[in-house]
Each structure stands twice: as C-alpha cells, then as structure tokens.
Structure 1
Amino acid sequence: MSSSGSDDDMPLARSNGHKSATKVSPADDRAMAKSHSKNGPPPGLSIRNGPVHGGEPMDVDSAANGTAKRKSRASIDKRISYKDESDSDDGAPLAKRQKHKVEDDSDDEPISRKASKLPPSIYETALPDSSDDDQPLGAKLAKKKASIEKQAAQEAKAIRANKPAPKARKVVKEESDDDEPLAKPKAKRQSNGVASAKKTNGVKKIESDSDEPISKKAKPAPKGKATPTPKKGAKAAAKKEESADPGDEEEEEEEYRWWDAPKKEDDSIKWNTLEHSGVLFPPPYEPLPKHVRLHYDGKPVHLHPEAEEVAVFFGSMLHSTQNVENPVFQKNFFGDFQEYLKTTGGAKDRDGNKVTIKAFEKLDFKHIFEYTKGLSEAKKARSKEEKKAEKEAREKAEAPYMYCKWDGRKEKVGNFRVEPPGLFRGRGDHPKTGKVKKRVMPEQVTINIGKDAKVPTPPAGHKWKTVQHDNKATWLAMWQENINGNYKYVMLAANSAVKGQADFKKFEKARALKKYIDRIRKDYTRELKSQLMAERQRATAMYLIDRFALRAGNEKDTDNEADTAGCCSLKYEHITLKEPDIVIFDFLGKDSIRFYDEVTVDKQVFKNLKMFKKAPKTTGDDIFDRLTTSQLNKHLSSYMQGLTAKVFRTYNASYTMSKLLQELPQQNLTMAEKVKLYNDCNRKVAILCNHKRTVGASHEAQMEKLGDRIKGLKYQKWRTKMMMLDVDPKQKKRKGAEYFEKDEDLTEEWVLKHQAFLVEEERLKITKKFEKENEKRQAEGEKPHPEKELKERLKAANELEAKFKKENKSKKVEAEGKGPTVEKFEAAVKKIEDRIHNMELQAADKDGNKEVALGTSKINYIDPRLTVVFSKKFDVPIEKFFSKTLRDKFNWAIHSVGDDSTWEF
C-alpha cells in the first residue's frame, strides 16, 4: 500500500530473510490442517468487532509479536446517540495537506494512531433493512455477496457465449409497503451512448488520476454544464447564470463532447497543439521585524533569512500540538534547521557573536508564534472591501495560469500553483514528518508545451530546467520535491476532457472484467491448493485483494521510503492468525496510515497463511516471499489486457452497486427516502469493499446539534398542538389526550434551555439585521440608526421571553397568527412532522455513515453512470448526489447516459 502508483515490471530486491520452499509437500498440507468451525462468521467479510471463535493465537504468532494486539472496543449501540460522554473524539486533527481539499471522505481516510476508534464491525454498522428477521447483518451481507458473485459468474459465461445476460430480480412500481422486490425480466441492455470499450493493443498505458481528491475550491470551467434532464434553452440559461472565472474569454466556447467524438486512431497522442502560461510561484519570504526573534537559551538570536524562514515554519504552527510535540517531527525539523544554520553562517547574538545551537529544548518560538498569530487575526479582521480588493488582485494574478489551450480548446488547469515551502507533515506515522519542504525554484521545473507555442517566461533572473514538447504526456509542468523524491505534475482540472477520458477508461476497464471474473475466481480458488508455492501464494494474494479490497502493494526501496505495505509486501508481523479462520491485519498502509482489520477467511486461505508463516520465518520476513506486484499484474494481464490488481476495487464496487440498485423497489417515496435508499446501497458497497474511515472528531458534536434541531421541531409541534386547544378545547376529547402530550425526550430542563436559546437567537437575529442596515446606510452616505432604535427592536425578544414564562406557568399556549383555526394548525403540524421525519432520516443516514467512507466509493470506485441512472429512474435531481464540482468532473457520465434509465454496468 505504498503511496507510489507505479507497477514497474522490474521487481526490486525483497528481504533476504527466510524463504518458503518452492513446492508444498502433502506432509506440509496435512501439518497445517486444523479444525474449521462451520458456525463462525461467513468468510469474505470484516468481523473486526465480531466474536473471535477458537482459542488463543497461534504460537507462531505470539512468539513474533512482542506487543499485544490492539483490543477491539465494545460493541456500540445501534441507536442514534446525539451525545458522547467520553473524550474519545478529542484526538488531534490530521495534518493539513497542501494539495486539494477532498470532495468527501476518502476511502483512504486516515485511521490515526492516536484515535481510539477503529473501522466498524459488520455486526456494528446499522443498515436499514427491509426485512424484520433477526438474521445477523454479517450473514445477510455475506448471503448478498455470494448471490452477487453467482450472478457475476453467470453473466460472464453469457457474455463469452454472446448470449443475453441471465435474468436478475427486477422491481416494478408497487403501491404496497412490502419492500420485497417483485421479479421482472431484465430489460434489454442499452447502449451507453459512449464508444464501447475496445482492445487497446499498442496503446500507451495512462496513469489515471481519478483516485486523486478533487478540490472543493476549484471553480468549474465556464462551460455551462447541464443536468441530465435539461429543458430547451436550459443550457443557454445555465451558461448565462454561470459566473465567469478570471481570464475567461468574452465569448462562450461550445462544450467539447469528447464522448460523442469519433475514436482517435492513435490513442497515445494526447494533443497536437498546447499553449499555457507555466506555473505560479509562491511569494518570496518576508523577514521578521527586528523586534521579533527566535530565542535560544533565553536570548534573542539573529538568523540569515533562509534559516529564519525555517524557524518561522515551526514557530507559526505551535498551535498544532500533534505535530510540534511529536518527537519524530521535532527531531527531523531540528536536523534540517541545523543544516540551514551551517550553510547560512549560523546564529548570532545582538553583538554579532556566534551562538551555537545544539539543543532543541532551548529553542523558544513563542515570539514568532505570537507575531504570526497576530498577522493571521489581523487578516481575518479586515473589512469586506479590503478582502474583496485582495481577492480581485489575487484572481488577476492567477488569471493567466488558470486556463490553457489544448488542441485549440480552452481547458482549465487544475494545480498551477507551486506548493510553498514549509514543514512536511505527512499522514499517519510518516517517518519524515517535520522535515523541511524546500522552496521550488524555476531551475527545477520542466515545461511541456507545443513546439510552435510561446514558452512561458520564467521569473526574472531565472530559467526553466528544460522545455520539452511531448504530446504523449498530459502534464504541463513537472518538478521533483525533496522529501520523498516524488515528481509533482501540473495537470488539467478534474472537469477537463483528458481527466474525463481517463475516468471513463478506468470504469470501462472494470466493466470489461465482467467477462473474465468467473474464470479468475475459479482459477485462484483451484490454485489455493497448488503444489507450487509461487502459485499458492499468488492465489492467496488474489483472494485477499478480491475479497477484502486490499491494495496490491508496490515494490520499493525501504531505505528511502516509509515502511508501508500492501498485500504482496506483507511481513510476518503484519498478520496474526487465530484458529479456526480469523486473520488480523495490522500494518501501515498507503500514506503511512495504520490499517487494522479482523476478517474471516476460507479454510484453505487460513491454512495457506499459516504455511507462509511457518518457522523458521520470523519478524521482518515476507509472507508472500515468492510473489511480487509485477508478477501478479503480469499474471492478471494474461486474462485481460491491461488488467491489474487495482481494477478489482473498481469492479467490485461498481458491479455490487449495479446489482443492489436493480433490486430497489419503486414505491411512492419522499425525496429524502429516495436519497437514503441510494445511500443505503452505497453503504453496503463500502462495507463489502472494505471502504472504511475513522470517526471524525466533530461527528458527535454534529449529531448532538442535529438531535437538538429535531427536538426543537418536536417542541414546535407540541406548541402548535397546544394552540389548537386554545382555539377549540374540545379537540382534546376528539383527538385524545395522548395526541397533545409532549414527546418523552422533551424534558422540563431541556425545554427551559431551548426557550432561552430561542430568545437569544431572536436577539442575535435582530442585532445582526440592525448592524447590517447601518452598514448599508453608511455605505450610501446616510446617517446610521441610533442605538435606541436597536433597544426598541429588542423588545420583541423580551416579549418572547415573557411569553415562554407565562406558558410554563399556565401550561397553556395562546394561539398565534391571523385568523387561527384548527385546520390551519393541523396543516402546520403535518408540515412539522414531515420535517421531523426527513431530519430523522438524515440523522440515521449520517450516523450510519460515520465509519463508512461513502464519498470514496461514490467518487472513485462506483461508476458515476450508475448514480445518474438512479437519478433518472427515481426522479431525484443529480444535485442530491453530485456537487457542482463533481457534476463537472462526471459531465461525461451525465450526458452519455442521458435519459436512459436502463443503462447497466
């Protein structure tokens, strides 16, 4: 699970420890055979917090693991909790990343080592279910997964035989409340509106960036993208309403519908002409004023600007205690800081005498922190006019870089800014956290541009590293960063044609896997018992990748990179085996994020893993010592050209979602219920595909706030009913006393607090409106309202407070509004009840998603055309599922599906 994305065919050196035998003897097979419980959790699902069947861990594991494995937490309550009385969510936030903000929660969401919460058990994650039986969720999901895999095998055979796909359970619209879908013949497969996937012999492999998070901040290109069901003239109206980005041309360009364009003869040629303005460098460092200095051993020291800038990096982030108090962060920073001191002449006191800085503990950054904090606060406190002027100046400076000309078309550039220098934070327990990210200079940057285009002018006094004209590359500029030696590329924005084509190819490749999935699964199941150790290891790895969505893991030089792992690079200490069929994974995965999961596997897989850990293997030895990622991908390509291990994640997520959506009942549902129906399917996909995340630090606070809003509506409903009694006291006899009772959770204490909140909210609302009016009057040259006007207006809040006191004393509520009637109050109660229902659905959905990464599944692994199909079929606006940024990113999916609600993955 290295962060590297290459699948180099040249395997690097593996560990030189103990290796498995080349062949598996019958005696070894018999020796590893153990009893296998038939009553345990179903294989192929995560059961981290489920019961661990069997006895103690194997001796072979207990000897290797010097520290006890992390204990699983107690099972959580399935009911929605709006308040967490524990302090488990006060863990430090993750380090900020300098790249784009993530659109939603990523599948690779960090599981912080400091966080006490772990991914959910299949028995913990509450999923709304149509049936009322008591069958455990794990068994339900396993049964569903087995059913879907069976359908996949039947469909694969039908595709190869060029026959119609086997019929699946389809749903017809029903008025009843029965959630059981009725059988209906599958509709004939329709064209997707996009050129179908073809063999790509001779086509250069493209590294897709579809797994990269897309920026929330990125403004969409002014193309006026339409929603799936635009009315006549809607496109033009949408374009007109779009606010133009800086640098936009006066005339609107016609949208480039690459999905309708004829397929190129040579797919390796990405462009014929390319023009752009290069990259935007961060501003130079501004030295500290003379009265602000780094202190060492209680005395201020003078530093060269380059060394001072490094000190400011650390001093400005003293508030980020999870970083600056981390011993690894401190050590790496201090080592680099001393190097800067050596190369810039060191530190000096007021008299110019040299000061030798040897101890980190003697450094005092508080003066720097207070200064930078003051600058930040002053920046926030600026007037709207100042902020607006700065924004306009920034946009003017960025305008030339925001767009490029790609084959004459205007395309938006994604990340044209060069990352500023700072301290590397990393994710998880990265060994290089705290090291200095050096300032990137123009001499490090390579420009890729058309031969006949004007080469961007580098900053004054500098020059580019090189200028090239590679029309088979999709990047505009490139440089190498100093921390991990990775190359950074300036690419087009997520909504560009190039990125859209890359996404399309990724999902089409996953669709093509449908034809071969049964053979692949049948073959690796057979090879789990192969006498050749290499085949047995390969089959076991394929099983884990297919069933548990493990990343393959890439070969790397562990001396220069973080000690991360993936399936093929798992070490002896990374897995613990518990009889009869439990496997516990515990290792640093992608981006040095801890991966911890407890799973139930097939009997043969458990036996194989036990064999792969057989003595004399010990800590540091490879589990799959006769397998590399390159060898695995080469084997997979023998089934289908271009097939690699990572395609399984996309296939499993998309195919599973497709089947779940096909079975949905088309009943009379509210919009909120339809959205939740989609999210329920997405959640099942995330669980089955192992897309998990840690609970956010703010989750409980958000749930508590949502719970208070629901209670507030319940209180409003009760007051409305009491007004009904004020109009007609006989209603209590007609409707029954129970109808007018308060909900149980509306305690007297809570009601008093809520009333005080409503009064304060009214005061704040009046005050804000008053201040806003005065600001407007001053801007227009008029005299502002006097303070006594505000006091007069605030009487309304005082009257509300008095009204609540009277109601609490008399236990009666006077009817409000013009011409109050029972009918009006009944209608009001119905509206409030609808709002409560929708908000409770939202709360259940939010709480169910707290440990499941729906966003990553939806953005990166589920074919977006499936979401569009659901949107069309259930008449739900696509905006309910895709933000504006995502609608631009998946514009190709929205338009290629069109009005066809029968499209299938």
Structure 2
Amino acid sequence: MSDSEDDRPLKAKAKSKDVISKAEDAAMDKQIPTNGHVNPGISIAMGPVTDMEVNKPISNGHTNGISNGKRKVSLANGKSYKDDSDSDDDIPLQKKRKTDTVSSDDDIPLKKVVKPPKVTAAMVGEESDDDVPIGQKLQLEKEKIEKKAAKEAKALRRKDKTEDAKRKPKKQAESDEDDDKPLIKKQKNATVKKEAKPIKKEEFDDDVPLKKKAPAKKVKKEVVSPVKKGKTTSKVKQEDKSADDEEGEDEEEEYRWWEDQAKGDGTVKWNTLEHNGVVFPPEYEPLPKHVKMLYDKTPVTMKPDAEEIAYAFGSMLSSAHNVENPTFRKNFFADFKDMLDETGHAKDKDGNTIKIKQLEKCDFQPIFDHVDAERSAKKALPAADKKKLKAEKDEKEAAFMYCMWDGRKQKVGNFRVEPPGLFRGRGEHPKTGKFKKRVTPEQITINIGKEAMVPKPPDGHSWKEVKHDKEGTWLAMWQENINGAYKYVMLAANSDIKGKSDFKKFEKARELKKHIDTIRKDYHQELRSDVMATRQRATAVYLIDQFALRAGNEKGEEEADTVGCCSLKFEHVTLRPLETVIFDFLGKDSIRFYDEVKVDAQVFKNLKLFKRAPKTEGDEIFDRLTTSGLNKHLSNYMQGLTAKVFRTYNASWTMANLLRDMKAEGTIADKVLAYNAANRKVAILCNHKRTVAATHGAQMEKMEGRIDGLRYQQYRLKQQMLDLETPAKLKKKRGEAYFALPEGLDEEWVAKHQEALVEETRDKIRKKFEKENEKLAAEGQKEMKGKELEERMEVADEMEAKFKRENKKGGKIEAEGKGPTVEKLEAGVEKLDVRIATLKIQSEDRESNKEVALGTSKINYIDPRLTVVFSKKFDVPIERFFSKTLREKFDWAIKSVEEDWEF
C-alpha cells in the first residue's frame, strides 16, 4: 500500500439490514433454487491453488500462490502408479499477483482456475475403482455419521431423564420435560428457564466435571509399555519389599487424579507450591576482534547491544526464507538503527563515526562464517565430549526441572527464559524480523506458595513481583516486547494439571453428544430467520460445525490481521454456483487458510445476501455477530460450550464411529494401516489441514533417490545374468528392454550415483571406527590407530576400483557373490521389486498427506482414549501410535479405559 493510500480517510463500513423482508427472501430463492434437502458440508479441495481469478479472493493482501507441478510415478513393471500427482511443495511461496478488480456480482464463475488436489480414494483407505465418486461417498458417509449422532443424542437424553426422574421429586421432574425442545420453541415458551450464569474464564478449560468420579486410588507407579488386551493396566503391581530396600528409597505413590474428580471442581488449583524459578540465557559474548560486520566494505565496530542485533541477523543468513523476506528485513533494520542511535552508531578502525543508513550496504557474511565455524566445531566434537557437556548442562538445570505441587513432584515444562533474537513468527506475520529483547528479572512475576521459599534472583537483580495465586497454573510470567503478549512458565505436558485440562476438554466434547441434534436442528431453522442477526449467527454456527472454522476474535491495530469465521470480510469469501464457497484468508498463526467447499443451498443464499451491495472489500460478512455473542448463545445449550468444542467433538465422534465398525485383521502393520486410514478420513471429513512443510520437497526427492538406487541395483543384477549365460539367449527370452538401463537414469546419473555410493561407504566405515574408539576410550582401553581405519577403507577403495573397471569395459558387470546363478539373481530382482513398490506406496502416501493434518487430528482433536481402545481391542502396542512424549502426556488415557470404553 502506498503512502498516498495510507492518508485516505477510512470509508464507512457497510452494514446489513436489521430485518430481511419476505419479498427479498423470495426473490433470492428464485435465484438459488433448492430441493429442500439438507446436506452436511463437505470440503472438495485439500490445499491452495494458483492463478485464482475469483472475485479477487485475497487474504488482506497477503495471499500466497503456489504453482502446481506434475510428477509421474512408475511401478517396477512400468505401469503408472498414479498419473496425476501434485508436487508443488518444494516451490517457495511467492506473493500472489493481484487479480481483476472486484465485481459486485459475486456469482461470476471461476476463470482459469488450476484445480487443487482432490480427495482421492487412497487418501481415505478406500478402493480406487469404486463406482461412486469419492466426494459423493464422503458426503454420504458424513450424513450417515450425523444421523447416528442425532439418534445417540436423543438416547442419551432419555437415559439421563430416566435417571434424574428416579432421583428427583415428581414436580421437579415435570419442570424438565421441555429439555428436548428446540431452542427457538423454548425461547417462545413463557416458562423458559433462566440463562445459565457465565462461567468464570480460567487459565485452562476446567469447567465443572460431567460426572462425579470415585475417590482416588493410590497405587505404586508401574511402567506401562505395549497396552495389552485385558485389564492388567488397572491392577496394582505388587513390589517386593527387598527390592525397595535395594533401591534405597520407596517408590513414589502414583496419584490417579482422573479417579478423583471431586477435587478441583472450584477455581483453586493448588494449596502448596514450591519451585526454583527460571533459568536465564547466558549474557551476550562480543565477537572476536577479527570478526566484524562490513558497511560499504568497511569493517565497523559496534557497542555490544547493537552488535547483538547484528549477530542475530548474521547467524541467520542460511535461512533465506527469513532474511530475504522484505518485511523481515524492514523490521530488523528499523530496530537495528534504533539501537545504533542509542549506542552512538558504529566506528571504523580509526575511531571515526560511521552512520549505518542502508541495509543493502551491510555485509553480515563475516559474522555468519564465524557462527558457522563454531557450529561445525561443536558438531564435530566426539560423542563423549558432547555427552559430558550435556551432563554438565543438565546438572546446572536439574533444580529447575521439577516443582512440588500439593506435595507431589511435577515436571516443569518451559523453565528457560527465551533468549534474545529476531522474531520469526508464523505465516506472514507483520512483525517478523523485530528484535526480541533480553528479559530481565525485573520483568518477571513469580507465583509460589506463601509458606515456600521465594527463588533468589540473579545477583544485583530483583523480581518484578511475587504472587500467591492459587487459581493460576503458572509458575512465572513476563511480557514480551514484540506483541505485548504474556509468556508463562507452566507444568510439563505429562503433569496432573495439564492432563486434567486435556481430560476436561474431551469430556466437554463427550457432553456435546447429548445436545448436538438440537443445536443442528435449531441452526438449520434459524438459517431462514427474518432477523439478520439470527440468520448470521446460524450461518456462522453451520460453518464452524461443518468445516471446523475457528470462531475468530477482534484484532487490535498492532496485531496480525488473522481471520476466523466471525471476522470474515467480503474478500475472504467467493461464491461459485451452484452452492460452492471458496474461503481464502490468513488464519491462526498467519497461516493461509484455503478451502473450496460444497454448502447447503440456504447457506449459499445467506452468504450471497451478507455480501450484497453496498458491501465491498474490507466490509465484514457477519457484521451483526461477535465471537463473545456466539459463545454466549452456545452456552444456552450446554454449560461451557464454545465454538472450539465442535472441532474436538466432530473429530472424536467421527473416529469413534469408524473404530466401532472396524475389523482390523492381519499383522500389526496391517492393523496400524487400518488405524491410519481412519485417522486420515477424520482429518478429511473434519477439514483438518496443514501447510506443506518446507522440507517436504527435499524428503520426496530423497525418497525418489532411494527408489532410483534400488532400480539401479536391479539393473546391475540383470547385467550379471548376462555374464553367466549367453546374452543373445537371455535377451531373446526376456527382451532387450528387460536389460536396458531404467528409464530416467543415464550415464551421467550412474557416474554420480557410483561416486555417492563410494562416499557413503567411506562415511559409514569412518563413523563406525570413531564410535568404536569412543567406546574404548570410555572404558579406559587403548584406542585403535589410524592404520586400522586405512585397512577398513580398502572396502570402499575396491568398490571405487570396480566401478572404474566396469565403466572402461563399456558397462559390463561381472557376476558377484558366492556361487551366483541366474535363478539367484532373478530372486534378487523380485525382492527389489517388492521394496520398490513399498517405497512408491509410501511416497504416494506422503504426497497425498502433505496437506492433511493427521498428527493434528490424532493429538489435539481425537480423544486419546479412542486410540487406547483400538490398541487394546486389536492387540497393537500403544507405541505404534504414541511416541514416548505422547505416552507421558496421555498417561491418564492409557490407564483409565479398557477396550469396551465408548466416546
């Protein structure tokens, strides 16, 4: 945006009418006919597109275009595994070019649209030859799942009502008879109940538990490895007393908080709290005198505070994604210049003042070379030295790693204060490149028990404040200078308090099961309301429920212009007949959200209505709706219900239904594959997306390189066959093509591959030799001499010589191994066929999943108890689904359910 544009007065925001007239509604019905059938929303695209010219769907001017490439993957037999496969993930994001001017007619069809990758059958574990289109199949499956949800909700409410009736007096039971009525009808009824009091917002999502649990049981801690079928995990393991004496101390008793939900109903999170504060990063060490930044080719000296900012930029030169970003460069240089102004600018070797005015004249390469050399030296350290350094660091930090929370030892998560550096942000953050200042003790507030000893701050410093906030789950906090956000030191993911937060999040999603049918029935009715605010709210709830859109919050002037459902603007939504909506905006963490979805006809009509003139670019679509108002409305259905609960509910309910009908058979690998297919289907049905990883392209290239390497191995085996039998006879039997160099490989590729094989062999020998020497040194034995390494290297030398001989003979390869025969070589070729096919399937699977957030679904939205149920039901070790960190995080889920548990 130019300076002249910045000076223009802000235009008045266009607003929707308060009431929608029947005539206006009828006129729009004629434009957008509907068959009256309510369809659940379904995503028909799973990623970004390029060259979009659809009513200029830009995201606050920050839309990124990604060009699509095509890659053809072939099986060993020459057939195409998948002819059309998008492989655009290795192309850097670039600024999206502006499209044609915005037209007020938002129904103009898409022009020159490059289609995004479609959901394929393979992505959801289905056969690709099914006659039903995958989009239609997914929609039918979603309808089926939603019908089950409505049926289950009614059954749960009937069950609750029956149980309540047994406990309540008759009059009180009669007063609850209208619980199943839609909200609209209840509001019209004169006997409507008072709205639930707003729930106090806490640090975590810890509302009142759904059911009272049995008193806590204290048991000995037990290491739970693979989750076995049966009830062994819930039994108390009896420890031999003599073993305890041998250990020197009794094992700490395990606190099974999930069986003690009576505690923690209120806001008090702890009664006693002790900890040792935080670990500060080391002070900045000035660069050696011979290492200096150059300005206009002149070495300059700066005060440490300014040099530290230059050091931060220079150390990042290898990160082109950041240092070549115009916003990053602009923000960095602004902070750098401000610090130079404060510290008296730079000096040359003669002490003359040098004013640094242009970033283009700054040369940070000497700083980068120094940093890179230090990194390389550290990386080259022997394993024993690295281990020693780590042990020293762990010893210094040991006192900060744990705290005493209500008398129980709990691990602290992020006890280290973040060091100063350049802020990167995610996506297209407007403040990327700004300098994160060093945090001092004077900025830090400590939260600790009244009776506990307050941690001592560094010498010469004092804490900002010491609090005794029993309602807070934080140990320390401070405000950072970039966004003014508060940073908190919290307990680790596997702590009781974090586990309770996860537990209550999923329990709240389970509670939503009882109300989901009423909510959906109500918002489908309200989609036709003549009150604009009500219609907008219903449309927003539909989008949040069906497409997992985040609600979104109002943003301040200094915040990134990220968007959610309630804050969608005119340019973020493009309509394409019939009933297709394109969302394109900057979502959470400034990550671009793009989706092309098929919506209910009434929703399409409503969005068209919300975008009508005089609204134009910059105007809000839901101008009569706020996030707080939406959540207040939702809380009428269920205590503590907010927009974000729908994401958790939909993912967990979908997975529960898929697992209920699943019949996983075969090996453990087959069962894991079945689970992953269900997880993938959840991610697609619930629209859980991710941006393509920056390393995806490199990973795909590496995988293709492995496949080519195996194809070359096959070629060598086939050439060895020709050495054992008459070539003419074999070629007549097999055909010339069988013995030819595989397609895509040429002599230049072979030469490079052979060189790489030799170097790889040398590297393996060298690493093994060093590792063995380190082991000998650790055991106090004499290390092997360099001559031993030279002798071992003869294997690589022989390989290199063999390749040279073969190349001189025109590529003739002699048979290798003991007693080689054509039959043995053919068996070797067939084994490689299997390995190649497996790698190609893995490659295709990785390519298909590049924009589907499988990890996000499994970790954040699917109730972990469902994964535990699958593990126990089908005898699959839990390690196949959860890493060690996740097993610690979800310890409560692993130990609290059996295979018959249901979401």
TM-score with structure 2 setting the length: 0.78
Amino acid at match of 1:122: V
Residue 162 of structure 1 aligns to a residue whose secondary structure is helix
The more displaced of 614-623 and 779-788 is 779-788
Residue of 628, 634, 643 corresponding to 1:630: 628
CA contact (8 A) 1:421 1:437 kept: yes
The equivalent of 1:24 in structure 2 is 20
Q: Which moved more, 1:275-284 or 1:425-434?
A: 425-434
Residue in structure 2 matched with residue 429 of structure 1 by the alignment: 428
Partner of 1:404: 403
2:650 equivalent to 1:652? yes
2:852 equivalent in structure 1: 852
1:187 corresponds in structure 2 to none
* Aligned residue number for residue 151 of structure 2: 154
SS at match of 2:124: coil
**Does structure 1 conserve the Cα–Cα contact (< 8 Å) formed by 2:494 and 2:888?**
yes
Show the 5 A alignment for 1:342-361.
342-361=341-360
CA–CA distance in 2 between the matches of 1:712 and 1:343?
58
Displacement of 1:563 after TM fit? 1.2
Task: Provide the rounded CA distance (Å) in 2 between the counterparts of 1:32 and 1:793.
Answer: 79
SS at match of 2:597: strand
- 2:667 maps to amino acid: T
Three-state SS of the structure 1 residue aligned to 2:887 is helix
1:689 corresponds to = 686
Compute the displacement of 1:723 (Å): 10
Q: Report matched runs for 1:124-273 at 5 Å.
A: 126-130=123-127, 132-162=129-159, 204-208=200-204, 224-229=223-228, 252-261=251-260, 263-264=262-263, 266-273=265-272
| CA distance in structure 2 between the partners assigned to 1:705 and 1:525 by the alignment | 49
Q: Map of 1:518-529 to 2, 5 A cutoff? A: 518-529=517-528
- Which whole-Å CA distance do the structure 1 matches of 2:59 and 2:466 have between them? 53
Report the alpha carbon displacement of residue 290 of structure 1 after superposing the two structures with TM.
2.7
Shift of 1:73: 5.0
| 2:532 paired with 1:533 | yes
Structure 2 counterpart of 1:611: 609
Measured in 1, the distance between the counterparts of 2:578 and 2:81 equals 34
1:773-801 CA-to-partner distances (Å, cap 9, x unmatched) read 55666762356152663365557647976
Which amino acid is 1:881 matched to? F
Q: Which region of structure 1 is more displaced relative to structure 2, 789-798 or 468-477?
A: 789-798
1:745: Cα distance to partner? 5.8
CA drift of 1:341 comes to 2.4
- Write the deviation string for residues 479-532 of structure 1: whole angstroms up to 9, x where unpaired: 111111111000001111111110010001001101000110110011001000
- The AA in structure 1 aligned to 2:586 is L
AA matched with 2:633:
H
In structure 1, how many angstroms separate the alpha carbons of the residues matched to 2:271 and 2:342?
Answer: 46
Matches within 5 A, 1:268-347: 268-347=267-346
Partner of 2:618: 620
Amino acid at match of 2:281: P
Equivalent residue of 1:141, what SS?
helix
Secondary structure (helix, strand or coil) at the match of 1:564 reads coil
2:65–2:93 Cα contact (<8 Å) kept? no
Q: CA deviation at 1:128?
A: 3.0
1:207 Cα offset (Å): 3.9
Q: Deviations over 1:356-401 (max 9, x none)?
A: 3333333332332222233222322333343223212211111111
The CA deviation at 1:810 is 8.3
Conserved? CA contact 1:480–1:486, under 8 Å: yes
What secondary structure, in the 3-state scheme, does the structure 1 residue paired with 2:255 have? coil
SS state at 1:255 partner: strand
Distance 1:275 1:825, change over 3 A: farther
| CA distance in 1 between partners of 2:63 and 2:200 (Å) | 48
Find the aligned partners of 1:161 and 1:518 in 2 and give their Cα distance. 13
The structure-2 alpha-carbon separation of the partners of 1:832 and 1:49, relative to structure 1 and needing over 3 Å to count, comes to closer
Hey, what's the Cα distance between the residues in 1 that align with 2:817 and 2:822? 9
Aligned partner of 1:105 in structure 2 is none
SS at match of 2:513: helix
Contact kept in structure 2, 1:287 and 1:308, CA below 8 Å: yes
Secondary structure of the equivalent of 2:387?
A: helix
Structure 1 counterpart SS, 2:454? coil
Say if 2:47 and 2:116, in contact at 8 Å, map to a contact too.
no
The separation in 2 between residues aligned to 1:26 and 1:461, in whole angstroms, is: 74
Q: In the TM superposition, what is the alpha-carbon distance from 1:586 to its structure 2 partner?
A: 1.5
* Structure 2 CA distance for partners of 1:613 and 1:200, relative to 1, 3 Å: closer
> What RMSD in Å do the two structures reach over aligned CA positions?
4.7
**CA deviation digits over 1:613-642, x for unaligned, max 9?**
111112221111100000000000000000
Cα distance, 1:259 vs. partner? Answer: 1.7
Structure 2 residue 548 is the aligned partner of structure 1 residue 546 = no
Q: CA 1:893 to 1:80, structure 2 compared with 1: closer, same or farther past 3 Å? A: farther
2:592 equivalent to 1:588: no
Offset, 1:137:
1.1
Gaps of 5+ in 1: 1-13, 95-115, 166-198, 211-221, 241-247
Aligned to 1:569: 567
1:492 paired with 2:491, answer yes
CA–CA distance in structure 2, aligned partners of residues 68 and 366 of structure 1: 32
SS at structure 2 position matched to 1:584: strand
CA gap 1:712/1:64 in 2 versus in 1, 3 angstroms: closer
Whole-Å separation in 2 of the counterparts to 1:531 and 1:676: 49
Describe the shift of the 1:421–1:767 C-alpha distance in structure 2 as closer, same or farther (beyond 3 A): closer
Change (3 A) 1:232 1:69: closer
Output one character per residue of 1:50-106: Cα deviation in whole Å (capped at 9) or x when no partner: 999xx9967xx7999999996985898797679999886142799xxxxxxxxxxxx
Find the aligned partners of 1:855 and 1:83 in 2 and give their Cα distance. Answer: 26
Rounded Cα–Cα distance in structure 2 between residues aligned with 1:881 and 1:64: 36
2:513 aligns to what?
A: 514
Aligned to 2:479: 480
Give the aligned partner of residue 639 of structure 2.
641
Q: Distance in 1 between matches of 2:14 and 2:848?
A: 45
Report deviation, 1:429: 1.2
- Give the aligned length: 805
SS in 2 for 1:596: strand
Task: Tell me the distance in 1 between the aligned counterparts of 2:62 and 2:223.
Answer: 58
- Alpha-carbon displacement from aligned partner over 1:632-656 (angstroms, at most 9, x marks no partner): 0000000000000000000011111
Partner of 2:791: 789
The letter for the 2-side match of 1:375 is: E
Output one character per residue of 1:210-240: Cα deviation in whole Å (capped at 9) or x when no partner: 9xxxxxxxxxxx9845442399899999999
Instruction: Give the conservation status (yes or no) of the 8 Å contact 2:268–2:471.
Output: yes
The CA deviation string for residues 274-330 of structure 1, in whole angstroms up to 9 with x for no partner, is 110001111111122333333333433332221221222222222222222222222
How big is each residue's C-alpha offset from its partner over 1:826-850, in whole Å with a ceiling of 9 and x where there is no partner? 9999987776676555444323312
CA distance in 2, matches of 1:275, 1:68: 48
- State the identity %: 57
Question: For the Cα contact (< 8 Å) 2:67–2:88, is it kept in 1?
Answer: no
Mapped to 1, the partners of 2:658 and 2:642 lie a distance apart of: 25
Structure 2 distance, partners of 1:203, 1:378, is 56
Verify the 8 A CA contact 1:228 1:895 in the aligned structure 2. no
Within 1, Cα distance between the matches of 2:699 and 2:625?
46
Q: Partner amino acid for 1:330?
A: R
Residue 461 (structure 2) pairs with residue 442 (structure 1): no
Q: Closer, same or farther in 2 for the Cα pair 1:137/1:38, shift >3 Å?
A: farther
Kept in 1: contact 2:548–2:686 (CA 8 A): yes
Q: Does residue 671 of structure 2 align to residue 674 of structure 1?
A: yes
Match for residue 698 of structure 1 among 677, 695, 699: 695
Q: Matched residues in 2 for 1:697 and 1:19: separation?
A: 41
CA distance in 1, matches of 2:371, 2:94: 21
Higher relative contact order (CA 8 A, sep 6+): 1
**In 2: Cα distance, 1:134 partner to 1:50 partner:** 25
Superposed CA deviations along residues 226-283 of structure 1, whole A, max 9, x for unmatched, are 442399899999999xxxxxxx997642332212335216432211111100011111
User: Structure 2: where are the runs of 5+ without partners?
Assistant: 1-9, 74-79, 96-112, 163-194, 207-220, 241-246
